[in-house]
Amino acid sequence: MIFKGLESIVVELNSLNFEFQILALSSLIILSIGLLRVSTKFGIPSLLIFLTIGMLAGSDGILKIWFNDADLTRKVGSIALAFILFSGGLETDWVKVKPILGKGISLGTLGVLLTCLFVAVFAIFVMGFDPIIGFLLGAIVSSTDAAAVFNVLRTSNIGMRKGLTSLLELESGSNDPLAVLLTTSVLGFVGSTSPSWDTLAWTIFQQFSLGIILGLLLGYWIYRGMNRIKLDYEGLYPVLLSASVLFVYAATDLIGGNPFLAVYIAGIIIGNRSFVHKRSNVRFMDGIAWLMQIVMFLTLGLLVFPSKIPSVAALGIAFSVFLTVIARPAAVFLALTGFNVDWREKLLVSWVGLRGAAPIILATFPFAKQLPESEMIFHIVFFTVLTSLLLQGSTIPFAVRILGLEAALEQRASYPFEFENKDKSDTQLLEYIVPYGSASVGKFVYELDFPENSLITLIYRGDSHLVPTGKTKMEDGDVLLVLTPEGAEGKIREILSRMGEKKEA
């Protein structure tokens, strides 16, 4: 009776005006946010919750909201992914990324190509697909998903050692562009009797080179503009930054570069410099990224017809198992050959190769080409994403522990004030963490020998904030907020990172 009542309401909803549609969308978003605590408590990836709500509200679900616009889904997903990547870039610490940059690039390029190749061979010779469809499936699922990886790693409440978190985030943020390029390139061969491999190679080079160059240039210009412009209303700065994300995305795409790579690099450039109202802007973009994740996964869930999934379940299971157990690990082990990465770390990187929104969005691309197999491709990929989020996403903490790669969770401090960097000032407010086992642990503040004109303004310890004095002792895991002139960052980091015997009281 309840379901029939809901269906009658939704029939009215679908036929009524814009305001009722907004009511439905806002209700789904509020419900998604409300269930976040449930997902955290039981270790279920929140993105899986969003997908499930979308499916339950969709054409085959309880609410019967009719939605089958694949092209609109692709557009919404692309913009959402741009904001998610930009937000991830804003919070990427270059100091942590620099040591693992080579590994991340190898995973984001060679790893993607190998995954595509392995999956294509399996799809063609084992599953019996046409070569074009086989390579298309390989290209669509070849990259890990930034939204899924960022979300799961930041809500799993577990730390990883040796910069593994930074490596996984760098890989997921940088490998989407190649997957998009491979997918569109394979689709370009549909109906072509003589594919031009030279053209494909040049397109890859153009997309990556322009994406990198424009990301660097536009990111720097946005940073300079944020500091130089004098806005009378503080609330306009987040608006300016949001519009800048869209500008980077659209300008790069129109010029012929890869827009996803450009926005991610622009985010890194901006996030690793001090600019006006930085902390509030980063918080705002984090909220936008959450909104984009929810809207994107709800939209993808609405697009799916769950009744059609059982017909591809057997193919989906075989496809998912091969991708997770063979293709992904093989690609990771080969891509990381020659780097100082032990087998346990390679296994963990393999297991955290989550598939999420990006593959589903790419699976909507064949609809534009009107491929007869496009619906089957979409539902196989969707089935693969569901199993990835459910099995891999929910077992990451267990995998970290069983492989012995657990480390103290790095706390994210929230501060009771914000430092506004004035134009032409070389002073910046930076965050440092006192590592476990640091020689600084047990020392008084006055004994740290920080550079001249550097001042520890606040210490974040556990759930409390301390205003330090010269007699305040350092403890393991302290987060220091340091007011310091430009050029002194390396010296402070060097002092805190020295390992040694702790000073006795």
Q: Among all chains, which residue has been given the structure tokens 């992914």?
A: 81
Orientation angle between helical segments 176-188 and 259-271, nearest 10 degrees: 170
Q: Average the pLDDT over 145-172 and give the result.
A: 73
What DSSP letter does each residue of 353-381 carry, written as one string? ----HHHHHHHTHHHHTT-TTHHHHHHHH
**What is the per-residue pLDDT for 419?**
55
CATH number belonging to domain 427-497 = 3.30.70.1450
Tell me if 177 sits within 8 A of 211, measured CB to CB. Answer: yes
Q: What average pLDDT score do residues 4-26 get? A: 60
pLDDT over 50 at 10, yes or no = no
Residue 412 pLDDT greater than 70, yes or no: no
- The residue extents of the domains of the chain are 21-407, 427-497
* pTM of the shown model: 0.75
Percentage of the chain modeled with pLDDT above 90: 19
Same fold, 21-407 and 427-497: no
What b/e string do you get for 107-126 counting C-beta neighbours within 10 Å, with b at 16 or more?
bbbbbbbbbbbbbbebbbee
- Decide: 354 and 393 in contact? Cβ < 8 Å: yes
Task: Classify domain 21-407 by CATH number.
Answer: 1.20.1530.20
What does the pLDDT look like over 160-177, one tens digit per residue? Answer: 776 788 888 788 877 877
Mean pLDDT of 477-492: 82
Could you tell me which of 156, 178, 180 has the C-alpha nearest to residue 352? 156
- Average pLDDT on 404-416 reads 64
pLDDT in tens, 357-384: 788 888 888 877 778 888 888 889 888 8
Comparing 93-102, 148-157, 493-502, the range with the smallest average pLDDT is: 148-157
Q: What integer pLDDT is reported at residue 5 of this predicted model? A: 45
pLDDT grade for 420, boundaries at 50, 70 and 90: low
Computed over every residue of the chain, the mean pLDDT equals 81
Identify the three-state secondary structure at position 427. Answer: strand
Q: Give the SS3 label for residue 332.
A: helix
| Model confidence at 14: pLDDT above 70 | no
Is the distance from CB of 265 to CB of 89 less than 8 angstroms? yes
Amino acid at the residue 244: S
| Residue 425 confidence (pLDDT) above 70 | no
In the predicted model, what is the mean pLDDT of residues 93-97?
77
Token pair recorded at residue 356? 């999420």
Rounded to an integer, the average pLDDT of 481-503 is: 76
- Gap between the Cα atoms of 165 and 159, Å rounded: 8
**Averaged over 109-130, what is the pLDDT?**
93
Q: Is the pLDDT of residue 124 over 90?
A: yes
pLDDT tens per residue, range 190-249 = 765 555 667 767 877 888 889 999 999 999 999 989 888 878 888 899 999 999 999 999
pLDDT in tens, 464-479: 788 888 889 988 878 8
What does the pLDDT read at residue 258? 86
The pLDDT confidence band at residue 324, using thresholds 50, 70 and 90, is very high
**DSSP code per residue over 134-194:** HHHHHHHTSS--HHHHHHHHHHS--EESTTHHHHHHHHHHHSHHHHHHHHHHHHHTTT-SS
Query: Is pLDDT above 80 for 3?
Result: no
Measure the CA dihedral 408/412/416/422, to 10°. Answer: 120
